Structure 1
Amino acid sequence: MAGDSTNGRRFIVEADGGSRGNPGPAGYGAVVRDGDTGRIIAEAAEYIGRATNNVAEYKGLIAGLRAAHEIDPTASVDVRMDSKLVVEQMSGRWKIKHPDMQPLAAEARTVFPRSQVSYAWIPRERNKDADRLANEAMDAGKAGRQWEPKGEPRPHPVAPAAAVSPVAAVAEPALEAPAPQAGWAFAGGQAIATTLVMLRHGETALTPQKRFSGSTGSDPQLSEKGRWQAERAAEALAARGTVEAVVSSPMLRTRETAEAVALRLGLPVRIEEGLRELDFGAWEGLTFAEVQERHPEDLNAWLASTKAKPTGSSESFASLTQRVGVARDKILARYAGKTVLVVSHVSPIKTLVRLALGAPPDAVYRMELSAASLCAVQYYSDGNASLRLLNDTGHLR
């Protein structure tokens, strides 16, 4: 049994993941049940792109734990899965050797204190609800969309201090920041925090012209001014002396910016695909005025909804949020307790700031991020996040 919770409440989390190809198109599903009645009080599912069964199973576990945490972070949790691998590894009886599994297991352990969680294997036929959701997520991905709950979300009454939106609890538990709880998480008397210092890349030839420059365009290099900006950022970050790792988007302009800082700090650059800029499709290389003239209806739809896509694009702000949230979680798991420089673009950085604040999706349209500007968010092990810096350009003056 899991350790006793403060208020005696108990949840059962059933989770599953699948891959059609292993690796192949993958998704996960998870349900949270009331421990006394067995009633389902929250669901979570997501299509995660190409992955293995084991990765999908771990992501299902994380989503289930987070959904339970949003309802009541003081509850005890009995996790039940038909994956013997995940159950044995999370119980500490088997070693986790695969590099893809290690950060996911570490992330799962940060959701609840270990004393509040237990793990048990169940036969596949007793895990039908989680399996159903995982298949729904994969079916949605095959259709080019993300999973959405069917019908009205199931109610889950909780004390007012821990209340969360049923839509948030069901639809996006893996990405949206949990509702802040009273107090912070402490270990040994000190708060456990991981800091992401986010640096937008320096200018390219397209930046001063305010042209759309995403992940499917010309992939421009830094201009002379952009290289100067990267050097100034490197000087400022070296002077602070707190950065312990550097992670970058794969785009040329971000890699050049990251390498300038990493060289000064004596650190390697780790590439994270999920940090790339939004795909702007047919808008790549165009100014806002040119897009307004050529694709007025698509532009208006895009500005009105974060679920709309630029003309010919493969993704919306909503789908970008999915991959950026996954990238964030991987970084937090890999560098827990450290200060990490994340070199990225306007859209991913705005999204990370929005998620940290718990702001609505359209908040991304209300932020200004200058070239080579710095933002910083501190993430705590209890799920809270604190915005510490936004669009700082002091090092460029």
Structure 2
Amino acid sequence: MREFIVEADGGSRGNPGPAGYGSVVIDAATGETLVERAEYIGVATNNVAEYRGLLAGLRAARELDPSATVHVRMDSKLVIEQMTGRWKIKHPDMKPLATEAARILPPGQVTYEWIPRERNKHADRLANEAMDAGKRGEQWDAGAARAALEASASTRTLPEPAGPPGDAAAGAAKAREALAQGRASAATATAAATSAPSAPSATTAATAATSAPSGTKAEADLRAARTVATPTASQPSTGWSSAPDLGAPATFVLLRHGETPLTPEKRFSGSGGSDPSLSEVGREQAERVAASLARRGTIQHIVASPLARTRETAGAVAARLGLEVTVDDGLRETDFGAWEGLTFSEVRERHPDDLNAWLADPEAEPTGGGESFAATATRIAATRDKLIAAYAGRTVLLVTHVTPIKTLVRLALGAPPESLFRMELSAASLSVVAYYADGNASVRLLNDTSHLRP
């Protein structure tokens, strides 16, 4: 009997907003990608897009071999828990999709596994390609993708991402291991798939609340943090005391740089301007926060934006802690285009229409080709994911700027984009967000300036 792995994902740039999905069918024995599916589906929520990706993947697997066993891997905890029957499906948009998914293949042939988002990059890429095509008024070119797959199949070329270039054996081994692990973890849950739409067990705020838009599915990745599970009759409540040990989270201590000459005047100061250094006040603030962090003694690594004011602030902390500073371009401030160096009032006077659009629409760019908040969120989310993977279980000081810090907090909370205008973030302030192995996030601190007091 053949064995397939289906990896699926979906995203919405607005939740609801322009949405798309991507699905991949992999041969579990060889690690070979057999089918890619992607589609722009118009305006929908993240969850609907994810379910549509699941449906496409299951149908593709059935087309290849209706008797094959299928192991589904997705980074949507909501979909996985609902399809295994552990969480109840209450949202009216989800119920028919889950019912349809459960009917594509007999439940005994399908198992489900939640995976971190960084392990679902193939399907995520396809979903974003579909959304990009939709933005151009097109559909994802499935015909070209099928032709490429047929050419690949004719030469028996195996995909390289699963291991070093050309390491097909490693790819196949990884696929088989994932399938075996998924079978073991899901053995008792698969029979419940057909009853998932009515099975008792979860309420989710993710399908009822508005999430932030983004150029990727960046804002949907923490839906598990907005989901509250309710125990079923056959699954006793575990409570906090017996919750699984997820290990130490990746903890980001977020430090806004100290004052520059532009800070007191509240002038736009992004990554496209003059790159000012710290003022005398800013240097004193950097020393104070460095002393405070040294007393706490919890920082293990320091990563900074490439701009002068952040590197100078990070340098003061690094000197106290005896650590090196790693520079990451993804932590740079938003590029404010022609607004750089201007006050809000000056921008209002010179570019009123552009400013109004920018305040109302996260996709709007500042005058002169600056960076939109949506584009910034995409960049920050990708940087966040990379750093979480690099510093799992570690405490890292990220020395960055107003917009990146507010964006990290917003994404962790699942808050809408207008929340950026409702957070106060002082120079040299500290905020903290912890990221757990199951995809959840916890905002532990925001805009602490107690270390700056004499």
Q: TM-score range by the shorter chain?
A: 0.5 to 0.7
> What are structure 2's unaligned runs of at least 5 residues?
10-19, 26-36, 38-48, 55-72, 85-111, 115-119, 124-148, 150-157, 185-195, 230-238
- Distance in 2, Cα, partners of 1:205 & 1:318: 28
| Cα displacement (A) at 1:233 | 0.6
- Distance in 1, Cα, partners of 2:311 & 2:280: 15
| Cα displacement (A) at 1:169 | 12
SS of 1:391 mapped into structure 2: strand
Are residue 376 (structure 1) and residue 432 (structure 2) matched? yes
Aligned to 1:13: 7
Are the counterparts in 1 of residues 212 and 411 from structure 2 also a CA contact under 8 Å? no
CA change 1:72–1:278 in 2 (3 A) is same
Alignment of 1:324-343 (within 5 A): 324-343=380-399
Among 34, 37, 41, which residue is 2:51 paired with?
Answer: 41
Identity %: 51
- Distance in 2, Cα, partners of 1:373 & 1:343: 10
Deviations 1:304-326 (A, max 9, x none): 12111111133200110000000
SS of 2:292 mapped into structure 1: helix
Are residue 366 (structure 1) and residue 366 (structure 2) matched? no
| Cα displacement (A) at 1:184 | 7.9
Aligned to 1:94: 170
Are residue 116 (structure 1) and residue 194 (structure 2) matched? no
SS of 2:424 mapped into structure 1: coil
Are the counterparts in 2 of residues 201 and 230 from structure 1 also a CA contact under 8 Å? yes
Structure 1 counterpart of 2:264, one-letter code: P
Are residue 287 (structure 1) and residue 343 (structure 2) matched? yes
SS of 1:365 mapped into structure 2: helix
- Distance in 1, Cα, partners of 2:168 & 2:248: 22
Among 331, 342, 352, which residue is 1:275 paired with?
Answer: 331
Structure 1 segments, 4+ long, off by >6 Å, are 78-82, 156-159, 166-171, 183-188
CA change 1:336–1:344 in 2 (3 A) is same
Are the counterparts in 2 of residues 198 and 341 from structure 1 also a CA contact under 8 Å? yes
Aligned to 1:31: 23
- Distance in 2, Cα, partners of 1:216 & 1:173: 26
Structure 1 counterpart of 2:22, one-letter code: A
Deviations 1:192-248 (A, max 9, x none): 311100000000000001100000000000011101000101001111000100011
Among 235, 249, 257, which residue is 2:305 paired with?
Answer: 249
- Distance in 2, Cα, partners of 1:185 & 1:65: 27
Structure 1 counterpart of 2:276, one-letter code: P
- Distance in 2, Cα, partners of 1:216 & 1:169: 25
Are residue 240 (structure 1) and residue 315 (structure 2) matched? no
- Distance in 2, Cα, partners of 1:114 & 1:384: 25
| Cα displacement (A) at 1:14 | 5.2
Are residue 65 (structure 1) and residue 131 (structure 2) matched? no
CA change 1:240–1:73 in 2 (3 A) is farther
CA change 1:243–1:311 in 2 (3 A) is same
TM-score by length of 1: 0.66
Structure 2 counterpart of 1:65, one-letter code: M
Aligned to 1:217: 273
TM-score by length of 2: 0.58
- Distance in 2, Cα, partners of 1:247 & 1:367: 23
Deviations 1:95-141 (A, max 9, x none): 9xxxxxxxxx9xxx9xx9993389xxxxxxxxxxxxxxxxxxxxxxx
Aligned to 1:395: 451
| Cα displacement (A) at 1:361 | 1.3
CA RMSD of aligned residues (A): 4.1
Are the counterparts in 2 of residues 246 and 270 from structure 1 also a CA contact under 8 Å? yes
Structure 2 counterpart of 1:290, one-letter code: E
CA change 1:244–1:42 in 2 (3 A) is farther
Q: After superposing the two structures, state which structure 1 stretch, 330-339 or 179-188, moved more.
A: 179-188
Are the counterparts in 1 of residues 50 and 79 from structure 2 also a CA contact under 8 Å? no
Structure 2 counterpart of 1:161, one-letter code: T
- Distance in 2, Cα, partners of 1:354 & 1:365: 11
Are residue 161 (structure 1) and residue 203 (structure 2) matched? yes
Among 168, 174, 178, which residue is 2:223 paired with?
Answer: 178
| Cα displacement (A) at 1:71 | 1.7
- Distance in 2, Cα, partners of 1:319 & 1:163: 26
CA change 1:43–1:227 in 2 (3 A) is farther
- Distance in 1, Cα, partners of 2:426 & 2:179: 39
- Distance in 1, Cα, partners of 2:183 & 2:218: 18
- Distance in 2, Cα, partners of 1:316 & 1:224: 31
SS of 2:51 mapped into structure 1: strand
Structure 1 counterpart of 2:51, one-letter code: I
